[in-house]
Amino acid sequence: MEDKQKSTLQLIWGILLLLAGVGVFFRIPQVMPEIKKIEHFAPYMVFIYFCFYLLGVLLIVGGARKVYTYLKQTNGENSNAEGDVE
């Protein structure tokens, strides 16, 4: 696979990770009342909240890291290309 195509796929994957992380944050308030209804999980609600929010944060950080790496790489290639013209 060509490097440019591979890095474009990495950018798409990073954006999808970001969107999934944001989706987790929007979904938590809708899902948690349903989980509270299950008596078995009631004593562990703090831990469940922590796990869901940690999952959301890790998805956002991972996606942002991929997007940042892609942007850093493309900016480096653009500055090298401009420097070669001189």
The confidence score (pLDDT) of residue 86 equals 45
Arithmetic mean of pLDDT over the chain: 88
**CA–CA dist 19, 21 (Å, integer):** 5
pLDDT at 56: 96
C-alpha distance from residue 21 to each of 70, 71, 73 (Å): 19, 20, 24
Q: What is the DSSP letter of 43?
A: G
**Residue-wise pLDDT tens digits, 46-76:** 999 999 999 999 999 999 999 999 999 888 7
In angstroms, the CA 38 to CA 55 distance is 21
Angle between helix axes 45-85 and 3-36 (nearest 10 degrees) is 160
Q: Pseudo-torsion of CA 71, 77, 82, 86, nearest 10°? A: 150
pLDDT at 30 over 50: yes
